[in-house]
Amino acid sequence: MLVLGRFSYAGKVATVFYGGQLLFLAKMADRIADGAIVTFSLQVELFGLQMSWRFDALSWFFAVITLGAGLLSSWYASGKWGERFRRRGGNLWLLHVALAANVFSMLILLGSGDLLALFIGWELVSWASFLLMTVAGGRAIQAAMRYITYAMSGAMAILAGIVLLWSHAGGLQYAQIIDVMPQLSQAQVWLLVALFGSGFAVKMGLLPLHLWQAAAYAETPGPGAAFFGAISARMGLYAIILVLVQLIGLARLSELTIPFTFLDMRDLWAWIAVLTIILPTYTALRQTDARYLLAWHGIGQGGYMLLGVVLGDALGSAGGLLHVFNYATNQAVLFFAVFAVMFRTGTADLNKLGGLITRMPISFFAMLVGIIGLAGLPPMNGFVSKWFVYRSLMIEGEPLLFLGAIIGTLGTILSVYKLIHNTFLGQLRVEHVEVREAPWSMVAPMIILMLLIFATGVAPGLVLDWVALVQSAVGLPVVENTLGGVELASGSLDMLWVVGVLFAGFGIGALLFYSGGRTRQVHQLDNYAGGHFLTAETRYHYSDNFYAGLMHLIRPWYRGSFVWLESTLGSLLGIAASLMQRLYGARHPSIYLLVTVVATLTWVLL
Amino acid sequence: MKEIDNPIEAPVDQSRTNPLARVFDELVRFCRSRSMFMLHYCTGCGAIELPPAMTSRFDMERLGIQPMVTPRQADILLITGYVSIKTLKRVILTYEQMGSPKYVIGICSCTVNGGMYWQSYATAKQLDQYLPVDLYIAGCMPRPEAVLEGMRKLMDRIRSGEADGWKDYYRRYDWYLGNQQHLFGDDWQTPADVIGEASHYDLAEPGTEGEHTRLLQQCQKPLEPQQTFFQIGGSLEKKGESHE
């Protein structure tokens, strides 16, 4: 990419390249399906530590999504969008390089065969993301700086955890760590979970470490945002599954009780997941920029995945893992649609759009499919994964977590409706009369994703096969799936039937509609507005201060506590830094000398 | 104001030979009369009698009548009291936006003859000069019992096929339009294409068009035609899309 990127066909080459890698992965699928672990011949020794790379089912599952997202994003960028981006002074070469760097570093991370390789992959991913975030410049730089601050502190926590493990296990191979795990005391495991957990939670955007994510993703130019939204944050989930589920084990987490409460560590993670669902989702509800709205949802939907995985039973963890795939498809198509609108109208401000359905019908349909999936309604794939998580919560007897997840879904439905209503429905603005549908290079990835979302919604068994492999690879109970869903004694799900009944209902409706006699189309301005005579200049599209009634009820809950927490931490750091500076700047070197001498003597004597 | 008598012509009934030919008509009329959505354009004090008529004591819904929020789905337009000239424009717009068959009910004396506002310069005195009123419920104000009685009467008239004011509006549109123009001025217009609708329902008769509709066509400023063009791609530098 570094070399080819200068040429105009770079995007197309990159797309073909990702396609090739995807084919390679597909070839690998047979071996993964046998439960084999594909190791790479490259092995590096560093400070006496063996580093190796390999792909198991878990890595493979995430890698497929990564490459798929990379493929479609670079396809999206390779046509008119890229031309326009370059003409506006954007650095298309840098964008493609950054995207390729992201995909590559993520593959390295996913293929890591030990903790050292994992850490190196982690750092590469962080910096590659930083590169892609900064492409747009301006506000994006600020967001990216915030991200890299978070990412670096997270990485330090991970490094501390790795050092802790190394000092006990004497090596960083996964097998060594699994062996040493039973010998560690409760307090040590506590510390490990806290260090690794907080480090990975940064990438995943779990509460309370989520503040960087929305702005950083939303400000990234089009395909980059779609790529980030689809998969980037899920690297955190990958690492969490790897370390917490595979290495430490969920059973061990349940043994760690939290003092003075009746909760254990696993409950704590479940509650973090639920809060991550609820709070960012309702923050998304308040956004007026479509990109920010989607990016906030990205944080919220991560909660469902973590919740499913932490539940740890066959159904719940399958739901969590399946949601990674489903959500990636939904979020990518939503970002594509939003950036297609932005490409044509120049704005993603939800108060400045409306009525574009007559101008951009395919983008509308793409967004419709995306929001149905994101809100978790049939017949799209998001329904299946959320159903799994809900069902698992019911079977496990977790009414409060269930309630939290439901509240989150309610917020999702409300805010995605706001998204599609304010963008595509209602009154067309005078300035958008001339708008056209986005060019083919942008529409084609959307159509592919729509088909994918629908197909995996009707036949979730296609993805569930992979999910079952992942579950067996990381040692979770494996879900028994059919093509249409699952068969359980406590209630099955067969999407073939669900979708069949749904479309039969549509069919009856269509029959009534088309047999009902002649219809007449009326002008959009020949519309009821309490008897007002409407003109094109009259704004009757209700988009500003959307959900005023609901907002009136829940506004006191938006306290910005996390922003406050972040700024408190920041200012505390500032105070500490200035104190240190005072110390350095002090004019009494003799005192330091004395202190140093005393300290050295003490150390030598003891 | 031009006083023109307003005889409602009996609908021309096509005689069909099949003895069961009327079964479906009867069925349709019966269903229509038992399921009516009502748009109440509450212009005056008569509105105060509607809540008791609609809620549990008198419970209009047991007759199949309930409120509707938009004219497109409504069957009954309920005018509850005096209509000022300004309001009348809105009432006519709303009426024309309703889908046929549609029925107009005037409640209170004010809709019949102006009532206590008879001397007002700003009030339309007789509603049926401007809209085909199917039923008046007189009184100042009529009690809920009277409202319900009126509704039952309307149901009977729908079932027997007598309530066909909406057809009259299409058949004698020129006359109604003339009265409207007399009140609002020559440039009076609504977005609805009433003449087109009349031919849509096969109700265009000699009275549909006339001097007043010609005047309307002269003054009419039609809404911008709505194009639904659908094209993927196209030139980038078209007006209105070249900013990001």
Segment A78-88, tens digit of pLDDT: 888 888 888 88
Higher pLDDT, B8 or A516: A516
Residues of B with Cβ-Cβ distance to A358 under 8 angstroms: 226, 228
Give the strand pairing for B83-84 and B65-67.
unpaired
**Range with the poorest average pLDDT among A1-10, A21-30, A343-352:** A1-10
**Residue A262 pLDDT greater than 70, yes or no:** yes
Lowest pLDDT segment from A40-49, A322-331, A363-372 = A40-49
Which tens digits make up the pLDDT trace of A273-309?
999 999 999 988 888 899 999 999 989 999 999 999 8
The two structure tokens encoding residue A518: 């002649």
Give residue-wise pLDDT tens across range A24-58.
Answer: 777 666 666 665 666 665 666 666 667 777 788 88
Contacts with B228 from chain A: Cβ below 8 Å? 358
A-chain residue closest to B74, CA distance: A528
* A182 phi and psi angles, rounded to 5 deg: -65, -25
pLDDT tops 50 at residue B158: yes
Which is nearest to A375 in space by CA: A366, A363, A385?
A385
Rounded to a whole number of angstroms, the distance between the first and last alpha carbons of chain A is 58
Provide the mean pLDDT of chain A: 84
| Pair type for strands A481-482 and A485-486 | antiparallel
Helix residue ranges per DSSP H, A219-286 = 222-227, 234-240, 250-255, 265-286
Cross-chain residue pair B200–A520, CB shorter than 8 Å? yes
Q: Is B230 an interface residue toward A (CB < 8 Å)?
A: yes
Q: Is A349 on the interface with B (CB under 8 A)?
A: no
Chain B hits for A526, CB-CB cut-off 8 Å, are 97, 191-192, 223
B240 and A84 within 8 Å at the Cβ level: the answer is no
Q: Which of B120, B38, B119 is nearest to B79 (CA)?
A: B38
DSSP A325: H
**What single string gives the DSSP state of each residue in A533-600?**
PP-TTS-----TTTTHHHHHHHGGG---HHHHHHHHHHHHHHHHHHHHHHHHH-S-HHHHHHHHHHHH
CB A208 within 8 A of CB A278: no
CA distance linking residue A510 with residue A497, whole number of Å: 20
CB–CB contact B224 A536 (8 Å): yes
pLDDT digits (tens, 9 = 90+) for A223-260: 888 888 888 888 889 988 888 888 888 878 777 777 77
Task: Specify the 3-state DSSP secondary structure of A507.
Answer: helix
C-alpha distance from B96 to closest chain A C-alpha (Å): 10
Q: The whole model's pTM is what? A: 0.83
- Evaluated on CA atoms A322, A325, A330, A335, the torsion sign reads positive
pLDDT at residue A506 in the model: 94
Whether the per-residue pLDDT at A379 is higher than 80: the answer is yes
Distance CA B153, CA B159 (A): 10
C-alpha A220/C-alpha A136 separation (Å) is 6
| Residue A88 forms contact with B (CB below 8 Å) | yes
Q: Do A528 and B94 touch (CB under 8 A)?
A: yes
Amino acid B2: pLDDT: 45
Is A193 in CB contact (< 8 Å) with chain B? no
Q: How far is A533 from chain B (nearest CA, A)?
A: 8
Give the tens place of pLDDT for each residue, B184-232: 988 898 888 889 889 888 888 888 998 999 998 888 887 776 655 555 5
Report CB contact under 8 Å: B228, A518: no
Q: Do B223 and A525 touch (CB under 8 A)?
A: yes
* pLDDT score, position B177: 93
Of all residues in chain A, the one with the smallest CA distance to B244 is: A346
| A84:B224 CB<8 A | no
Which residues of chain B have a CB within 8 Å of the CB of A80? 233, 236
ipTM: 0.72
Contact A525 B41 (CB under 8 A): no
A427, A443, A522, A534: best to mutate for the B interface, most B CBs within 10 A: A522
Which residues, at least 6 apart from A6, have a Cβ–Cβ distance to it below 8 Å?
Answer: A93
What is the band of A328 on the pLDDT scale with cuts at 50, 70, 90? very high
Q: Which of the four pLDDT bands, split at 50, 70 and 90, describes residue B92?
A: very high
Token pair listed for A269: 């993670």
Q: How far is A438 from chain B (nearest CA, A)?
A: 6
With an 8 Å Cβ cutoff, are A434 and B226 in contact? no
Tens digits of residue pLDDT in A145-168: 888 888 888 899 999 988 888 888
